[in-house]
């Protein structure tokens, strides 16, 4: 791989790295024929981000067709290269990224004013491709707004606020902070704001719904969108299925895929048990015999259509599947539910339900049975 970015695109590249650093610990880098893909996923695999910088983004973009190459790098070390955006803007004229497979180093050379050359040779690890499977086109709801609108809206929530709930009606959107179930109601502060459809560039609501997702990643994307001045498109359907945030122009495409909470889980649970009481409680072994990969991701499990359940009226399939990288990591995922917080948010409502027979089972199993019964 050999590519060169110049001028304002160096800043865009730096901003992309900073955005990705809000997602996960590692940067997955993959030079593809259609551009350089920079990806990251969080430890609980509930958030995924991909920046695809097309060959036109670069002044020069060359990949080795015979030798496909993918790697992951601790994002902190890449961030260090692009540490100060302001000095980058002021002094960097050209950024040259090159793969040195002999030395196992990724070389990032920054050509600065006054002839100063900064060369960073970063060590990396080989990795499998990281890919999320999602279908934003089939989402019922699509909103598109200028970054400013969302930046101003998000500004009202404190930095400590973890999740935000977005509710849509045919003509307006509400943003609300999500108060934890165990929070003291006398101390909790509710913030709610309403945006009219007119404020959006595009506003099409196919299904009135309400979704809750993490703010941190959204903030990460907003930083990028604001600096590039590109509108953000939001695709979503219902609670529990991922929300896709997209920013694109002619030379780059950004997709953030974030898990949403399955708020209405307990209701659908009751419905499901009524409809198919015979099939509800799957044998715990079922989990083991099934496709493991599909259970790894919390967001997906709540989405998988139960094998024995009749097709639902809602046939849209918003699946998000993350290609797993290595055995080692898979096991790690199974061994410990990565983000307790997320688990509890996801399945809190299920656990309350007394109908649940295997309450004492491990979280991961709940994760599985949950998915079987949800729809």
Partner 1 sequence: MPLSTQSQAGDEQYVLVASLDNVRNLSNILKAITFREHAIFNATKNGLKVTVEDSKCLQANAFIQADIFQEFTIKEDSVGFQVNLTVLLDCLTIFGGSTVPGVSTALKMCYNGYGYPLTLFLEEGGVVTVCKINTQEPEEPLDFDFCSTNVTNKVILQSDSLKEAFSELDMTSEILQITMSPSQPYFRLSTFGNSGNAHYDYPKDSDMMELFQCTKTQTNRYKMSLLKPSTKALALSCKVSVRTDSRGFLSLQYLVRNDEGQICFVEYYCCPDEEVEEE
Binding site for partner 1 (CB under 8 A): 73-74, 76-77, 80-81, 83-84, 87, 91, 105-106, 114-123
The kind and range of the H/E element at 229 are none
Q: Which is nearer to partner 1, 97 or 139 (CB)?
A: 97
Q: Which is nearer to partner 1, 65 or 115 (CB)?
A: 115
| 194 three-state secondary structure | strand
**Helix 363-373 with 265-275: angle, nearest 10 deg:** 60
Measured from the CB of residue 347, what is the shortest distance to partner 1 in angstroms? 37
| 104 three-state secondary structure | coil
329: which residues sit within 8 A by CB, 6+ positions away?
A: none
Measured from the CB of residue 45, what is the shortest distance to partner 1 in angstroms? 24
Measured from the CB of residue 120, what is the shortest distance to partner 1 in angstroms? 5
Measured from the CB of residue 112, what is the shortest distance to partner 1 in angstroms? 8
211: which residues sit within 8 A by CB, 6+ positions away?
A: 165, 166, 167, 236, 238, 239, 243, 260, 261
CA–CA distance, 294 with 286 (Å, rounded to integer): 13
Q: What are phi and psi of 118, to 5 degrees?
A: -110, 120
Q: Which is nearer to partner 1, 123 or 196 (CB)?
A: 123
User: For residues 89 and 43, is the Cβ–Cβ distance under 8 A?
Assistant: no
Q: Which is nearer to partner 1, 118 or 271 (CB)?
A: 118
Measured from the CB of residue 32, what is the shortest distance to partner 1 in angstroms? 24
CA–CA distance, 365 with 372 (Å, rounded to integer): 11
The angle at the Cα of 45, spanning 263 to 128, to the nearest 5 degrees, equals 150
User: For residues 21 and 75, is the Cβ–Cβ distance under 8 A?
Assistant: yes
Q: Which is nearer to partner 1, 76 or 169 (CB)?
A: 76
200: which residues sit within 8 A by CB, 6+ positions away?
A: 143, 144, 145, 149, 173
Between the alpha carbon of residue 75 and those of residues 26, 29, 78, 101, 209, the distances in Å are 5, 11, 5, 19, 35
Measured from the CB of residue 11, what is the shortest distance to partner 1 in angstroms? 16
Measured from the CB of residue 80, what is the shortest distance to partner 1 in angstroms? 6
CB atoms within 10 A of CB 214: 25
Q: Which is nearer to partner 1, 87 or 138 (CB)?
A: 87
Q: Which is nearer to partner 1, 83 or 336 (CB)?
A: 83
User: Strand pairing of 232-236 and 243-248?
Assistant: antiparallel
Q: Which is nearer to partner 1, 60 or 118 (CB)?
A: 118
Measured from the CB of residue 346, what is the shortest distance to partner 1 in angstroms? 34
The angle at the Cα of 209, spanning 205 to 211, to the nearest 5 degrees, equals 115
Measured from the CB of residue 117, what is the shortest distance to partner 1 in angstroms? 4
Q: Which is nearer to partner 1, 87 or 357 (CB)?
A: 87
Q: Which is nearer to partner 1, 117 or 288 (CB)?
A: 117
Residues, the chain: 375
Measured from the CB of residue 16, what is the shortest distance to partner 1 in angstroms? 18
């Amino acid at each position: 791989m050999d590519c060169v970015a110049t001028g304002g695109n160096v800043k865009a590249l730096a901003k992309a790295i900073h955005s990705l650093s809000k997602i996960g610990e590692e940067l997955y880098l993959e030079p593809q024929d259609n551009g350089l893909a920079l990806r990251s996923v969080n430890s609980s695999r509930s958030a995924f981000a991909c920046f695809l910088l097309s060959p036109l983004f670069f002044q020069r973009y060359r990949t080795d067709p015979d030798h496909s190459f993918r790697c992951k790098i601790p994002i902190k070390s890449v961030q260090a290269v692009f540490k100060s955006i302001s000095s980058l803007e002021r002094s960097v004229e050209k950024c040259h990224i090159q793969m040195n497979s002999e030395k196992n180093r990724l070389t990032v050379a920054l050509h600065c004013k006054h002839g100063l050359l900064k060369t960073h040779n970063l060590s990396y690890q080989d990795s499998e491709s990281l890919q999320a499977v999602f279908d934003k086109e089939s989402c019922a709801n699509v909103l598109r707004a200028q970054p400013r609108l969302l930046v101003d809206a998000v500004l009202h929530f404190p930095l400590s606020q973890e999740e935000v709930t977005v509710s849509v009606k045919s003509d307006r959107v509400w943003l609300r902070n999500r108060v934890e179930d165990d929070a003291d109601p006398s101390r909790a502060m509710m913030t709610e704001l309403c945006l009219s459809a007119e404020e959006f560039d595009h506003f099409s609501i196919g299904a009135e719904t309400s979704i809750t997702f993490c703010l941190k990643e959204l903030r990460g994307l907003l930083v990028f969108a604001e600096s590039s001045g590109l509108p953000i498109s939001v695709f979503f359907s219902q609670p529990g299925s991922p929300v896709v945030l997209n920013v694109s122009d002619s030379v780059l495409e950004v997709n953030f895929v974030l898990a949403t909470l399955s708020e209405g889980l307990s209701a659908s649970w009751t419905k499901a048990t009524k409809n198919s009481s015979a099939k509800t409680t799957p044998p715990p072994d079922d989990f083991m015999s099934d496709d493991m990969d599909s259970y790894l991701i919390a967001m997906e499990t709540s989405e998988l259509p139960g094998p024995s359940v009749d097709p639902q009226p809602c046939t849209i399939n918003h699946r998000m599947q993350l290609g797993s990288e290595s055995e080692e990591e898979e096991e790690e995922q199974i061994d410990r539910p990565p983000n307790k917080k997320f688990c509890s948010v996801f399945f809190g409502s299920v656990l309350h339900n007394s109908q649940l027979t295997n309450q004492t089972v491990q979280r991961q199993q709940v994760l599985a049975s949950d998915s079987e019964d949800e729809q």
